[in-house]
Amino acid sequence: MTIRRIAKVFKSRPTIEGAGVHLKRAFGYSEVPQFDPFLMLDDFHTSNPDEYLAGFPWHPHRGIETITYVLEGLVEHGDSMGNAGVIGAGDVQWMTAGSGIIHQEMPKESPTGTMWGFQFWANLPASQKMMSPRYREVKATDIPEVALENGVQVKVVAGEVAGVLGPVRDIVIEPAMLDITVPPGTVFSHTSPIDHTLFVYVLEGASYFDDCRDAYAYEVVGHGWTDVERRCICERETVVLFERSGDTVQVTTTEQSVRFLLVSGKPLKEPVAWYGPIVMNTQEELRVAFEEYSNGTFVK
């Protein structure tokens, strides 16, 4: 077992997307290619309907996969393939845009008063950017939850924990997507393929994410200029990106528990040409995509 060290820590930053949705961007365009094959992670978490009901009206995607995970609230969706439905607390929507899809995602008034969810973008390799679109809606009841001996709880969306496989499989980038809760005073280890990109996003609580406990062993991005306290413990709305060497992530809690998303995938190591909702390999491919969208030949 070789412990993965922290490569960099990012603090999510407020932004507005869609038709006026207030969210926190954990990483995005500016961080390419550090998170390869992942392109973006947005965290939308608010109890104010005015900050989420405008939603994400009809828009195109090509060359990527979008993964939406809802913790609280309801999101109504529809697309050019004829898919439509509503995902709620604990549900996942895994959409492969491939050659082109037009869809919308419209949050509804939350039954709990709070809307909380995440959207990832994952890149597709050049050989499969123009694959046929596909869509998977995974209900919370179909996501296995593993209870480990040390009290750790893991919801397995993709990947494997203790011999339990997640329902999302046969994905190009060989992803793992885990929702993990570690109780206080606990050490949790997770093994991942060497060279796969791996990061965690802290949802609640705080924890140490490697065994060095040295706040100056890595770069910290996104903190304000008045933030003079630098700690090696990582708290909510923080992204921890790990080095690719090593095969094991080690998480250690002290007085409080921690809940985080752990995401990993196989890097593509390809050029990225990205404009708005479309991600290709070259500027020429982007030009073709937007021309096709304008003349009505985008969806194949």
Distance, in Å, from the CA atom of 299 to the CA atom of 102, rounded to the nearest integer, reads 8
The Cα-based distances of 20 to 12, 56, 168, 241 in angstroms read: 18, 8, 30, 29
Q: Write out 90-108 in H/E/C secondary structure.
A: CCEEEEECCCCEEEEEEEE
Of the chain, the percentage scoring pLDDT greater than 90 comes to 87
| Homologous superfamily (CATH) for 6-295 | Jelly Rolls (2.60.120.10)
Strand pairing of 234-235 and 153-158? unpaired
CA angle (250, 254, 257) in 5-degree steps: 85
The chain-wide mean pLDDT, for the chain, equals 94
Distance, in Å, from the CA atom of 63 to the CA atom of 70, rounded to the nearest integer, reads 23
223 pLDDT above the threshold of 70:
no
How far apart are the two ends of the chain, measured CA to CA in Å? 47
Distance, in Å, from the CA atom of 275 to the CA atom of 294, rounded to the nearest integer, reads 15
pLDDT tens digits, 148-200: 999 999 999 999 999 999 999 889 899 999 999 999 999 999 999 999 999 99
pLDDT tens digits, 282-296: 999 999 999 999 999
Distance, in Å, from the CA atom of 123 to the CA atom of 30, rounded to the nearest integer, reads 15
In this structure, what is the dihedral angle of CA atoms 123, 72, 152, 234, given to the nearest 10 degrees? Answer: 70
| CA dihedral (175, 119, 66, 270) positive or negative | negative
Could you tell me which of 186, 188, 171 has the C-alpha nearest to residue 262? 188
- The residue type found at 2 is T
Structural domain boundaries in the chain: 6-295
pLDDT tens digits, 47-96: 999 999 999 999 999 999 999 999 999 999 999 988 899 999 999 999 99
Which region among 108-112, 230-234, 258-262 has the lowest average model confidence (pLDDT)?
Answer: 230-234
Of the chain, the percentage scoring pLDDT greater than 70 comes to 95
pLDDT tens digits, 82-129: 889 999 999 999 999 999 999 999 999 999 999 999 999 999 999 999
Distance, in Å, from the CA atom of 71 to the CA atom of 140, rounded to the nearest integer, reads 10
Contacts of 145 (CB under 8 A, 6+ apart): 153, 154, 155, 156
227 pLDDT above the threshold of 60:
no
Residue-level pLDDT at 229: 59
Residue-level pLDDT at 226: 45
Distance, in Å, from the CA atom of 177 to the CA atom of 181, rounded to the nearest integer, reads 13
For range 137-146, the mean pLDDT: 97
Q: How confident is the model at residue 211 (pLDDT cuts 50, 70, 90)?
A: confident
Residue-level pLDDT at 230: 59
pLDDT tens digits, 7-26: 999 999 999 999 999 999 99
For range 250-269, the mean pLDDT: 97
